[in-house]
Chain A
Amino acid sequence: DTEVTQTPKHLVMGMTNKKSLKCEQHMGHRAMYWYKQKAKKPPELMFVYSYEKLSINESVPSRFSPECPNSSLLNLHLHALQPEDSALYLCASSPGTSTAGELFFGEGSRLTVL
């Protein structure tokens, strides 16, 4: 069983909807990440939070808005998405950003934008 929990597992939304993806970890990790993965492609980094502060934003469009309410939770707010944003969204954590290579991933949220 994964120690990083993501909800929902599946999400279908229209281009005018507002929705959120949620991620929770209880391993005491201080770095959390959002990745996007398209079919048959490797994960692409979107955002990195270190000690609840945004440390990396990989030039992600503003229709994706991350939030880190506390050290265990990470949200990704979605608004006015495009069909090409359909993908598997993965949350991950690591003890710190110095250990950014040893990531614990959740099972992902499969997003479909109609």
Chain B
Amino acid sequence: EDQVTQSPEALRLQEGESSSLNCSYTVSGLRGLFWYRQDPGKGPEFLFTLYSAGEEKEKERLKATLTKKESFLHITAPKPEDSATYLCAVQARYGGATNKLIFGTGTLLAVQP
């Protein structure tokens, strides 16, 4: 069964304290892995797409990496405005799930000044 697991569930950092969020996945052929950011009461905001192991994408203080079993979202020197829930999702290449995303349960990040 296709599955996405994110850890930790919640993470509290001091401003400037770098860390990583983890997304582990099992899927019948990976079409793509996606990271989203969601602020409270708002819709998710697309951040990155990763297609193959070894791929990396960067945007400001965020860097996403991908292996054959997991993805990491590295946050360098975070600021309070980076506080949000970060969602990971995968799209399968085969079977009936090729046109939909399987979301993880998210990591709630709080960055304190």
Out of B44, B45, B101, name the residue touching A45 (CB < 8 Å). B101
Give the residues in chain A near B78, CB-CB below 8 Å.
none
Q: In the assembled complex, which residues on chain B have CB atoms less than 8 Å from the CB atom of A100?
A: 91, 98-101
Partner-contacting stretch, out of B52-60, B64-72, B103-111 = B103-111
Task: Kindly provide the distance from the CB of B78 to the nearest chain A CB, expressed in whole angstroms.
Answer: 22
Q: Is B95 an interface residue (CB 8 A)?
A: no
The reply to whether A55 and B44 form a contact with Cβ atoms under 8 Å apart is no
With A101-B32, A101-B101, A102-B49 in contact, is A108–B89 under 8 Å at CB?
Answer: no
Q: A101-B31, A102-B46, A102-B49 are in contact. Are A45 and B41 (CB under 8 A)?
A: no
B113 interface contact, C-beta 8 A: no
Which residues of B lie under 8 Å from residue A105 when comparing CB positions? 43-46
Interface residue count on the B side (C-beta < 8 Å): 23
Verify if A106 is at the interface (C-beta below 8 Å from B).
yes
The prevalent SS among residues of B at the interface is: strand
Evaluate contact between B101 and A103: CB separation under 8 angstroms: yes
- Contacting pair A88 B104 (CB below 8 A): no
Q: How far is the CB of A65 from chain B (nearest CB, A)?
A: 20
In the bound complex, CA of A4 to CA of B43 (Å): 10
Pairs A–B under 8 Å by Cβ, sample size 29: A2-B43, A4-B43, A41-B105, A42-B87, A42-B103, A42-B105, A42-B106, A43-B103, A45-B101, A48-B99, A56-B99, A58-B100, A90-B44, A97-B99, A98-B99, A100-B99, A100-B101, A101-B32, A101-B34, A102-B46, A103-B46, A103-B101, A104-B46, A105-B43, A105-B44, A107-B41, A107-B43, A108-B41, A108-B42
Given A98-B99, A100-B99; 5 other pairs, CB 8 A cutoff: A42-B87, A48-B99, A56-B99, A102-B34, A105-B43
Q: Which 7 A-B pairs have the closest CB atoms?
A: A105-B43, A42-B103, A97-B99, A101-B91, A101-B34, A101-B32, A100-B99
